[in-house]
A and B are shown apart, each in its own frame.
Chain A
């Protein structure tokens, strides 16, 4: 219990710190923020949430309904392939889209020179950001809505039809409302990711809170301003969290009827063709075209860029993701065991709070953890001076500590989910059976618990590993000197518009990102559950 509370405290530190930044207001900066920056940020953020919300809902729900409930050519392939965009971080989709669709990009050039067509809508726009984010994040809604439809859709629809509704009416009046809590949960996850996104916004030059925090940190050198922006962002996030948790409690895994497999809706050839075309287009735009383009670009720079520096970036990425994943798995394991030793409402809430970090944008965590660590650092240096005559300017600040702590807070939920559900499979009677058969505590852990949990531990480690590889803002803002990773390299190259050179590190991240999707489809588990 004590351990669980300590983890919860660590998670809550960034929140408390960012809010307490209002205690020492820097008047000039705040006035500047309030007058010039905030209105635009809030407006941009609201438009973005609205657009992405609609985009992911429409894409996610329609595709989920098609693959879960209907039969059309390629359905089994699309069923898992439509998850593939999860492997592409939004910032990668973003720079590929700009590279392809910009005025100087191949498409516009071809249209202009070959056909004299000009005046395509500008991709670097609000609409462009929304499009890219929707394509990158719809799998969150798709995955969770697909499960809901697959478990209850067929029964709901048959019940509706038996009561005289047409199939279309049945979908809108029964199946869709029934799946609403699931869809809402997926939607909230997608919106949290939108709020947290830094890379895409930076590439599109679309000012939101995350980019503003980064600028306050690096351009204004104002920790206070960064923290104040972060605290406003947290307010947005908390609204999403409340909605997400509420819809989660409304998700009841009621009695699952026969699976929908034998009773899919047979689409007419024309409709089936349209379904195929629709799913195929989404898959092509959201995954296939970007990956092919990445590969083409990467090939052009392979000879120059695949040098020792590249391997350094890759090594740093792997090393950080590895350490982070081990940390997350270890802490998640202890947290899950704490819940097993002392079950109860208090523990459930402690665990919930402790795994809330997935909702906090990386930029917020970077600020929220840097400030207290810096303060601790100063205190330590003072003590060091006065007690031991030890000098220096930083002890913890320049180390990996802040970064790893931020990873831990942000990705604890990713590791906790699979481990906790794995641990739930080891019932109390399994423990007692082992005891009755003469097992000591050690034998119980090594002969029963560890083998049963092995798969869950591996899943947790893989998911966390890949998430850290993709992570951009925390790494960017808190990395010690010389710790550039693949994601940092992508950021630097895209800042300079060098898409070809950003493609090579991106490709490595994408390849790593495909692993957990294969894992997911094999095991049928959900990424954030």
Chain B
């Protein structure tokens, strides 16, 4: 036992590998766990020792969360973190042994439990969704591969690989996979049903949005009802763009740079415009990014928001507002409308927003007719419906780059411009 407890003591000094799930209202708190040196968010549940659900679970998220829980090799830990310490979540009780942490102190609770887990104490073995066949398999043939009807033909709802025409008119194996709603590279809640041939997406459809009408009342939604300081509005926009940039860098294989941008996003002040420009411009102009995102996922229509402006359309609800015109506001645009242009657009807009916030002082803006949110006019959400057409025919890596570059927010898409009652 001496060796084991010594090893556990040494090992517990490393950050706790945890699979982090962003539930309703938990997206940004979940993101900020990337800044916590004592927790290491993992890409897949297999690499994790603990599951951390941040925010509230929904019916739509539940099956995926249960599967992710069960994929963490047992014994495992499960936590739900409710950062603002609101009432209990009945769905979390479906995860065996889950510990609910409200408000602060999450990391201490996790560290304690993790040290115990490594020393062989605590941690659950029970599955949330035991791997038991729902009905006996009635397949026929030497490998039980044939049959039809209930539990014959489509083994437990999972289609077998078939062959289909590919884009060159050849017959190739085709695999139907569901990716999400917990896929770390995608925005939380996005599920794609993809028909893959090799690594080319031949067919794409968007799964059910797991979020329901529930959204925190942020400054953009308040601006629909009352006068708010321009500085506050623009700081929120800059933070949103920088958080997006941090996530996009992570998916591009640059997690440490992403961490730097994320800490800037959390601590950004209006005077940080120069820092953002120093950090962002070389990134946006570099050859690496051009290879990753250049010519990928072009959208030329005027879709509003940064996506539309990245295609050269001067559509920004702010340009019709007198208070903004008084500050000399001119929308920034880029040409091309591809993923690269969208990267550059958001970096430029983050810098612009910080400069506007700096110049605005105490000026407020009355409730305008349309509020330009960080993803375009509030309440407009056509991007999700466009996804299948844009993504079909893409190689998997390009597909992920394109989805990331659109900065989707499924919670926002679920409610439009509404707010939580």
Do A and B make up one complex? no
